[in-house]
Amino acid sequence: MSDGSIQAEAIERIWRLCEERGFAPTPEEMHEALASVEAGDAVLMKPEELTLAALRFRRALGAETDRGAGLYAAAFLDARLEALFRRFFVQREKVADDLLTGTGGLSTFSARIDLAMLLGLASHSTWRDLHLIRKIRNDFAHSPETIGFSHDPVASRCRELGHTPLVDGGKPRARYVQAVMGVAGEVDTVVTALSDGRLSACAEAKDFALDADKMRSVHAAFLRRLADLLEGHESEVGWKSALTSAST
């Protein structure tokens, strides 16, 4: 059985057990599972990366057609970026709504990907894979033909994806799914770090403007100083004129 099949089977078993008992694996259970893996082979993960929501998404993604998977995964990551920005931004919901929804400047997947990288919330490799996933979405969305992950340009884009450490070669869809889950895990890790304070979110800017009384005082002082200077210049001009008249 391939690594991909083993992983898919394990996810299905975890999902079934979660449905039976009604809640996701606890942090204690996940730490115990990680502790049982040999240290040399372990890939440490944050407990938040195995939430019930991630399992639900992964299971639903596996049931989609190729076109459905390409559209669904991009929409999922688009929503995760929106959640990331809402956690990072100053908490002004109305302003954030205007920017992130409708025709706002951050309502598009492309703009969100670029801003996440420029703010240091996404690495260059994550930025690159997100744009590849966006382009794959567009390939599926704009093609009038029946295409799948094995067709170019989708297949060639899948081969460029970087978040695929468990896939050596492999089918394009397998690479795509693993990259999507890897990118989603990285975004959610940043959201978690913002939530628990390990990463600083934006804070309200301080108001550095002078108060009205201070501004009036400064303005009055400026006017007085200007008047003094002008009077001094006028006296100097008059004194020089008197000297000129006396010498002629």
Q: What's the pLDDT score for residue 133?
A: 98
Q: What's the pLDDT score for residue 41?
A: 46
71 and 136 in a single domain? The answer is yes
Helix/strand number for the chain, H first, E second? 10, 0
Residue 192 has pLDDT above 70, yes or no: yes
Q: Assess contact for 128 and 163: CB atoms under 8 A.
A: no
48 and 122 in a single domain? The answer is yes
Instruction: Give pLDDT tens digits for 81-119.
Output: 999 999 999 999 999 999 999 999 999 999 999 999 999
Q: What's the pLDDT score for residue 216?
A: 79
Could you give the CA distance from residue 30 to residue 184 in angstroms, rounded to a whole number? 19
Pick the more confident residue, 16 or 84.
84
Torsion (CA) 9, 12, 16, 21 in degrees, nearest 10: 100
Q: What's the pLDDT score for residue 62?
A: 87
| 49 inside domain | yes
Across residues 214-241, what is the average pLDDT?
A: 73
Residue 31 has pLDDT above 70, yes or no: no
44 and 115 in a single domain? The answer is yes
Burial 209-220 (b: 16+ CB within 10 A, else e): eeeeeeeeeeee
Q: What's the pLDDT score for residue 245?
A: 61
119 and 25 in a single domain? The answer is yes
Average pLDDT value over all residues in the chain: 82
Q: What's the pLDDT score for residue 237?
A: 61
Q: At what angle do helices 109-118 and 124-142 cross, to 10 degrees?
A: 170
183 and 76 in a single domain? The answer is yes
Omega of the bond prior to 47 within 30 degrees of 0, cis? no
- Which CATH number is 13's domain given? 1.20.120.330
Instruction: Give pLDDT tens digits for 130-174.
Output: 999 999 999 999 998 899 999 999 999 999 999 887 665 678 999
45 and 149 in a single domain? The answer is yes
111 and 170 in a single domain? The answer is yes
| 201 inside domain | no
When divided into structural domains, the chain yields a total of 2
Residue 43 has pLDDT above 60, yes or no: no
Name the nearest CA neighbour of 113 among 132, 94, 141, 139: 132
54 and 146 in a single domain? The answer is yes
Name the nearest CA neighbour of 74 among 144, 179, 169, 172: 179
191 and 214 in a single domain? The answer is no
Least trusted range by pLDDT, from 26-35, 124-133, 142-151, 211-220: 26-35
Residue 222, domain extent: 209-248
Q: Which residue has the tokens 């966006």?
A: 134
158 and 247 in a single domain? The answer is no
Looking from the CA of 243 toward its CB, the CA atoms found within 13 Å total 6
Q: What's the pLDDT score for residue 124?
A: 95
156 and 216 in a single domain? The answer is no
Q: Which of 171, 195, 219 is the last residue of a domain?
A: 195
Q: What's the pLDDT score for residue 120?
A: 96
Question: pTM for this one?
Answer: 0.70
Predicted confidence band of residue 51 (pLDDT cuts 50, 70, 90): low
DSSP3 helix / strand / coil % (the chain, rounded to 5): 70, 0, 30
DSSP string, 99-138: HHSTT-TT-SHHHHHHHHHHTTSS-HHHHHHHHHHHHHHH
Residues across the chain:
248
Could you give the CA distance from residue 207 to residue 211 in angstroms, rounded to a whole number? 10
| 200 inside domain | no
41 and 77 in a single domain? The answer is yes
| 170 inside domain | yes
Q: Is the dihedral of CA 179, 180, 184, 187 positive or negative?
A: positive
